[in-house]
């Protein structure tokens, strides 16, 4: 089986935010597909401190991983070895490359077991006050300035024309730059939700304002995990 195991969104998240099943499934296997080895070891220790780190067998699965890189692990799964799939944060396969292994499992009759956990994308949406019936997650916006401007304007037009909520992210060290661009390129009446440090009991920041109001209340978002949401 392949267990889709959620990671915490913040290292400060209380353990009781999570279902006991997360620890249960981590203890079921020593084999894991991980996006980042260091993060994965910290997540395992967070949920199951009694598990021996030396016993962990971690297979890297990031955006640069190709199917041929996973062949050894896939052979073990065909022989009956259970694996866990760990994202860097939140649920696997959302803004995460883990879907490659999930797809392989479906093609090879390997059972996929999703486990309840947090997603900053979903939590930002439900906290925004925007349309939760019809929405689009757009991933990361372009780095190129002109392309980014065009994408921002396109997303704004989508909100105005369809009412569909538009969700996107940025690499944390570029958050402030993206926020400035949103304030520059969006109309003053457009509404933006910023959800930062989601699930951190002390530092969580979630707020929805018009661009006109955001221009007067700029948050500090540098190197802070954040999700941005446009809507009505």
* Judgement on whether residues 98 and 141 belong to the same structural domain of the protein: no
Residue 197 banded pLDDT, cuts 50, 70, 90: very high
* Judgement on whether residues 128 and 27 belong to the same structural domain of the protein: no
Q: What is the CATH number of the domain that holds 126?
A: 3.30.950.10
Query: What does residue 221 show for φ and ψ, rounded to 5 degrees?
Result: -120, 5
The domain of 21 spans 2-114
Mean pLDDT for the chain overall: 96
* Judgement on whether residues 198 and 106 belong to the same structural domain of the protein: no
Tell whether the model's pLDDT for residue 126 goes beyond 90: yes
User: The pTM is what?
Assistant: 0.93
* Judgement on whether residues 24 and 94 belong to the same structural domain of the protein: yes
Q: Give the span between the Cα atoms of 196 and 205, in whole angstroms.
A: 5
Q: Give the span between the Cα atoms of 86 and 56, in whole angstroms.
A: 13
Classify residue 52 by burial, with Cβ atoms within 10 Å: 0-12, 13-18, 19+: exposed
Q: Given 114, 146, 166, which residue is the final one in a domain?
A: 114
DSSP for 119-171, written as a single string: -HHHHHHHHHTS-SSSEEEEEEPPSSHHHHHHHHHHHHHHHHHH--EEEEE--
Contact 17, 90 (CB under 8 A): no
**Tokens 């935010």 belong to residue:** 17
* Judgement on whether residues 85 and 132 belong to the same structural domain of the protein: no
Q: What percent of the chain has pLDDT over 90?
A: 95
Q: Based on the structure, what is the number of domains in the chain?
A: 2
* Judgement on whether residues 195 and 127 belong to the same structural domain of the protein: yes
* Judgement on whether residues 131 and 99 belong to the same structural domain of the protein: no
- Helix (H, G, I), strand (E, B), or coil: what is residue 66? coil
Within 8 A by CB and 6+ apart from 49, the residues are none
Tell whether the model's pLDDT for residue 86 goes beyond 90: yes
**Tokens 């392989």 belong to residue:** 104
* Judgement on whether residues 31 and 134 belong to the same structural domain of the protein: no
- The pLDDT of residue 167 is 98
Q: Given 92, 114, 136, which residue is the final one in a domain?
A: 114
Within 8 A by CB and 6+ apart from 108, the residues are 74, 77, 78
* Judgement on whether residues 144 and 215 belong to the same structural domain of the protein: yes
Residue 68 banded pLDDT, cuts 50, 70, 90: confident
Q: Give the span between the Cα atoms of 210 and 66, in whole angstroms.
A: 42
Q: What angle do CA 54, 10, 134 make, to 5 degrees?
A: 120
Residue 66 banded pLDDT, cuts 50, 70, 90: confident
* Judgement on whether residues 127 and 194 belong to the same structural domain of the protein: yes
Q: Given 114, 133, 159, which residue is the final one in a domain?
A: 114
Interval 139-161 mean pLDDT: 97
- The pLDDT of residue 67 is 81
* Judgement on whether residues 84 and 136 belong to the same structural domain of the protein: no
Tell whether the model's pLDDT for residue 113 goes beyond 90: yes
* Judgement on whether residues 126 and 105 belong to the same structural domain of the protein: no
- The pLDDT of residue 142 is 95
For the chain, helix, strand, coil in percent to 5 are 40, 20, 40
Interval 148-172 mean pLDDT: 97
Q: What is the CATH number of the domain that holds 60?
A: 3.40.1010.10
């Amino acid at each position: 089986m392949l267990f889709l195991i959620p990671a915490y969104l913040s290292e400060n998240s209380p353990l009781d935010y999570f279902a006991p099943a997360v620890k249960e499934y981590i203890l079921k296997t020593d084999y894991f597909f991980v996006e980042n080895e260091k993060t994965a070891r910290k997540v395992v220790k967070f949920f199951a401190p009694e598990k021996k780190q030396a016993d962990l067998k971690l297979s890297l699965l990031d955006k640069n991983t190709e199917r041929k890189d996973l062949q050894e692990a896939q052979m073990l799964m065909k022989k009956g070895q259970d694996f866990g799939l760990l994202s860097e944060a939140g649920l696997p396969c959302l803004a995460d490359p883990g879907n490659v292994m999930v797809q392989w499992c479906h093609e090879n009759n390997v059972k996929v077991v999703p486990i309840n956990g947090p997603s900053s994308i979903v939590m930002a949406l439900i906290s925004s006050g925007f349309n939760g019936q019809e929405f689009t997650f757009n991933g990361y916006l372009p780095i190129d300035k002109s392309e980014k401007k065009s994408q921002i304007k396109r997303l704004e037009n989508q909100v105005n024309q369809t009412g569909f909520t538009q969700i996107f992210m940025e690499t944390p060290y570029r958050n402030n730059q993206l926020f400035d661009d949103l304030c520059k390129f969006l109309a003053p009446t457009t509404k933006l939700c910023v959800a930062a440090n989601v699930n951190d009991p002390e530092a969580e920041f979630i707020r929805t304002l018009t661009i006109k109001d955001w221009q007067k209340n700029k948050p500090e978002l540098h190197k802070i995990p954040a999700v941005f949401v446009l809507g009505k």
